[in-house]
Amino acid sequence: GAGVSQSPSNKVTEKGKDVELRCDPISGHTALYWYRQSLGQGLEFLIYFQGNSAPDKSGLPSDRFSAERTGGSVSTLTIQRTQQEDSAVYLCASSLIGRGNGEAFFGQGTRLTVV
Amino acid sequence: SQQGEEDPQALSIQEGENATMNCSYKTSINNLQWYRQNSGRGLVHLILIRSNEREKHSGRLRVTLDTSKKSSSLLITASRAADTASYFCATDDQAGTALIFGKGTTLSVSS
């Protein structure tokens, strides 16, 4: 595709429900990052995938958060039992070169609102 | 883990003036990148400077890197209203895996 695609663009969910956020990276990019950005704040690192290596999950805030990347391409971020503090914009980025050594291309994000 | 920290948090200038933003980081890095974000959505890559480089230019952008002080600066010359955005620095983290962002500088350019 032309760029990183995220879906849905917006998601409103009730507290306690599970949500899945999808990221389609640029074809051929081996690195994939997920970030969370609360209103007016910086980007909080969540998880990083690099090729077939085990993901770096060090940024996940709790065990309610998980992510997978199937076939080295599409990634899904799952939040279980959502809480109001999970409300934020979730951003995905992919890069041809990982480990922070190459330009990252960002999707437009998913705005999650937990009511 | 917070690696980069931008300064100032907010900056307001007039069109035509230069804007300077600074970034400090904590540990050794392989490279440092600057990104721009409009309207709180996707970020756009501006420039990447490697640890063995001291200065880099791209159009109206000038980036410097001082590894001894663990700091970088982004200079935007002859600013335009369209430069109004948030600017973030990003570095590789201590483990050399992920790309870690600072909290950003919000730049407002008025005409």
Report the pLDDT value the prediction gives residue A1, as an integer from 0 to 100. 53
pLDDT tens column, B13-58: 999 999 999 999 988 888 899 999 997 678 999 999 999 999 999 9
Residue in chain A lying closest to B5 (CA): A42
Average pLDDT over residues A79-106: 91
Report the pLDDT value the prediction gives residue B1, as an integer from 0 to 100. 46
Is there a contact between B98 and A59 if contact means CB atoms under 8 Å apart?
A: yes
Q: How far is CA A43 from CA A39, A59, B6, B42, in A?
A: 10, 11, 12, 11
Q: How are the residues of chain B apportioned to helix, strand and coil, as percentages rounded to the nearest 5?
A: 5, 60, 40
Rg of chain B taking only CA atoms, in angstroms: 13
Q: Is residue A55 reached through a cis peptide bond, with omega within 30 degrees of 0 on the bond before it? A: no
**Pairing relation of β-strands A10-13 and A110-114?**
parallel
Q: Which of A10, A95, A103 to mutate to test the interface with B (most CBs of B within 10 A)?
A: A103
Rounded CA-CA distance B30/B98 in Å is 12
pLDDT tens column, A8-47: 999 999 999 999 999 999 999 999 999 999 988 889 999 9
Q: How confident is the model at residue A100 (pLDDT cuts 50, 70, 90)?
A: low
The shortest C-alpha distance from A15 to chain B (Å) reads 24
Size of interface A-B (CB pairs under 8 A): 79
